[in-house]
């Protein structure tokens, strides 16, 4: 079974040289730590950065320079700053190659819910609805099973939706899945030490298993 | 030439009345018009509709206007940093419209570009789409649904810039730019507070982000706190 860093590490392998990548808050942010040497990507932050760098050294924080999670960050050489309208313009126009974001629920037809638990958590969707509606390549990083032991890979999302028919790949603590155009989670890889039986038990939506499922290499 | 320079925030906001709609620049606490927010608290105008990406934190930014119950309605994309906000929203004291961040930005842009509406795929199939016109467009080789969203119609826009000149031309600094340029374009009256106010001619025309034609009032702000919401650092 993978921990959060393991999920991030596995997703980092999907990042290709030269991509423009938007990383959501939570596990997706960790992906930046595991991008292999020699792979150069430009990180987009939807508050208006391309070419976002690591956190600043202590004492060098700049209140005017933050990422979409409101954390102080730095800029890499070649970075550019733009306004929020242009930021979502490049997202809508599909110039951003890869979007990695977290989810509370994903359904077998590619719907995603990640912004609201009615009556309980109402923080807002931020840029998530814009990202999922437009991105051509979205990977969801999430825990497959919640604290109560219930699967979050579902036939249909229970929570209010963020977007419909938009998710094509999911990486969880248990495995890697493609969501097929006709519906269903196709199991591609098992996390280290996880059996197909465990995955079956943790998947409420339609699970498709063809042949031997390899254990993932991290 | 019309004099756009006002003395301070109190003078800049003096004709903002109860129940008006305001666009307020900033992302989190970054690039927010601190001086004007304080002046609004002092003036005590009530029943405001505030359009801003976030709602500040409990004791800073727009949170100050929420504490004093001067806000009737917030239109934002993300409000997770403010407990008082969440309390007022869940108890029904505060009306809240949560909208996608790109939709918020583009509805400002549309106003500043003189266009009444836009079409965006954000929110299709979600509760954001309820009651909205949906149109199918074939665009970039793909046919899909888009929501029609209206340009904002706001009485005032209040923005923060780094430098400005007496003609109202503005330059922003780093990610404090965020929503400020498109909000500056979208107000019937736009107020800009700046860290540095210079005479006309001192800014390089090629470097100006917001042309002064969009700005009606400008003043040099004071005592910027520029609070950092999430101070994240690495060790040397």
pTM equals 0.96
Over residues A90-133, the pLDDT tens digits come to 999 999 999 999 999 999 999 999 999 988 878 899 999 999 99
Q: Dump the DSSP string for A52-98.
A: E--PPBTT---TT-B-TTSBB--EEEEEEE--HHHHHHHHHTT---E
Same domain membership, residue B144 and residue B111: no
Residue range B109-141, pLDDT digits in tens: 999 999 999 999 999 999 999 999 999 999 988
Judge if B161 and B57 occupy the same domain.
Answer: yes
> What's the average model confidence in pLDDT over B23-52?
98
Lowest average pLDDT, out of A108-112, B177-181, B222-226, B231-235, goes to B231-235
B84 contact A CB<8A: no
What is residue B26's predicted lDDT score, i.e. its pLDDT? 98
B106 domain residue, yes or no: yes
Stated length of chain B: 236
- Residue B211 within a domain: yes
pLDDT in tens, A15-71: 999 999 999 988 999 999 999 999 999 999 999 999 999 999 999 999 999 999 999
ipTM: 0.96
Shared-domain flag, residues B136 and B188 = no
**pLDDT surpasses 90 at A217:** no
Asked about A46 being catalytic, the answer comes back as yes
In a domain, B108, yes or no: yes
Quick one: B106 and B209 in the same domain? yes
- Domain A4-208 - what CATH class? alpha beta
On the question of pLDDT at A203 being above 80, the answer is yes
CB proximity B35 to A under 8 Å: no
Residue B118, SS3 per DSSP: strand
How confident is the model over A63-75, as pLDDT tens digits? 999 999 999 999 9
B203 belongs to a structural domain = yes
Q: What is the three-class DSSP state of A8?
A: helix
Same domain? B18 vs B109 = yes
Residues of A in contact with B178 (CB under 8 A): 47-48, 83-84
- Domains of chain A, residue spans: 4-208
- For residue B104, pLDDT over 80 is answered with yes
State how far the Cα of A21 lies from the Cα of A137, in Å rounded to an integer.
10
H helix intervals, chain B: 9-12, 34-43, 63-67, 83-90, 101-112, 180-186
- B108 shares a domain with B185: yes
Residues B166 and B96 in one domain: yes
At B75 the pLDDT is 97
- Dihedral pair phi/psi, residue B208, rounded to 5°: -75, 130
Specify whether B65 is located in the same domain as B126: no
Domain count, chain B: 2
User: Does B86 have pLDDT greater than 90?
Assistant: no
When pLDDT is cut at 50, 70 and 90, the band that residue B82 belongs to is confident
Model confidence at A172, in pLDDT bands (50, 70, 90)?
Answer: very high
Question: Is A127 an 8 Å CB contact of chain B?
Answer: yes
Tokens of A19: 């991509």
In a domain, B227, yes or no: no
B18 & B134 share domain: no
Residues 6+ apart with CB under 8 A from B15: none
Q: Which residues lie closer than 8 Å to B139 by C-beta, 6 or more apart?
A: none
Residue B29: give the domain boundaries.
9-116+151-220
Mean pLDDT of chain B: 96
Tell me: do B106 and B205 sit in the same domain.
yes
Instruction: Check whether residue B145 and residue B30 sit in a common domain.
Output: no
Domain of B31: which CATH number?
Answer: 3.40.1080.10
Which ranges in B113-223 belong to alpha helices (H)? 180-186
Q: Chain A window 90-109: which residues touch B at a Cβ cutoff of 8 Å? A: 91-92, 94
């Amino acid at each position: 079974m993978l921990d959060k860093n393991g999920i991030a590490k596995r997703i980092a392998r999907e990042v290709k040289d030269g991509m423009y990548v938007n990383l959501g808050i939570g596990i997706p942010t960790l992906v930046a730590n595991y991008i292999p040497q020699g792979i150069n990507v430009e990180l987009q932050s939807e508050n208006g950065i391309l070419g976002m760098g690591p956190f600043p050294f202590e004492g060098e924080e700049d209140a005017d320079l933050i990422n979409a999670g409101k954390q102080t960050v730095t800029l890499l050489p070649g970075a550019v700053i733009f306004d929020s309208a242009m930021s979502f313009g490049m997202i809508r126009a599909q110039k951003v190659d890869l979007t990695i974001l977290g989810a509370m629920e994903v359904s077998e037809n590619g719907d995603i819910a990640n912004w609201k638990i009615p009556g309980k958590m109402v923080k807002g969707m931020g840029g998530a609805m814009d990202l999922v509606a437009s991105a051509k390549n979205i990977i969801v990083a999430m825990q497959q099973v919640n604290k109560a032991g219930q699967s979050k890979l579902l036939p249909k999302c229970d929570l209010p939706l963020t977007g419909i028919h938009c998710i094509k790949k999911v990486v969880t603590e248990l495995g890697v899945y493609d969501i097929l155009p006709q519906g269903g989670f196709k199991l591609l890889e098992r996390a280290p030490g996880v059996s197909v039986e465990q995955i079956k038990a943790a998947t409420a939506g339609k699970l498709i298993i063809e042949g031997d499922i390899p254990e993932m290499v991290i | 030439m019309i004099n756009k320079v006002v003395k301070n925030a109190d003078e800049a906001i003096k004709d903002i009345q109860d129940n008006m709609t305001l666009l307020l620049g900033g992302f989190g606490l970054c690039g927010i018009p601190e001086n004007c927010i304080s002046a609004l608290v002092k003036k005590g105008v009530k029943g405001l509709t505030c359009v801003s990406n976030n709602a500040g934190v409990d004791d800073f930014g727009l949170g100050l206007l929420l504490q004093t119950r001067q806000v009737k309605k917030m239109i934002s994309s993300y409000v997770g940093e403010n407990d008082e906000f969440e309390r007022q929203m869940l108890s029904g004291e505060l009306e809240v419209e949560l909208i996608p961040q790109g939709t918020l930005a583009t509805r400002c842009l549309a106003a500043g570009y003189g266009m009444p509406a836009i079409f965006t795929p954000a929110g299709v199939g979600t509760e954001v789409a309820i009651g909205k016109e949906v149109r199918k467009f074939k665009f970039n080789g793909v046919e899909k649904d888009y929501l029609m969203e209206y340009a904002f119609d706001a009485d005032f826009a209040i923005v923060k810039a780094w430098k400005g000149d007496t003609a109202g031309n503005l330059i922003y600094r780093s990610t404090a730019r965020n929503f400020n340029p498109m909000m500056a374009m979208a107000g019937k009256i736009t107020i800009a507070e700046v860290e540095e106010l210079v005479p006309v001619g001192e800014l390089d025309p090629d470097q100006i982000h917001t042309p002064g034609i969009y700005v009606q009032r400008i003043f040099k702000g004071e005592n910027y706190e520029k609070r950092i919401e999430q101070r994240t650092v690495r060790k040397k």
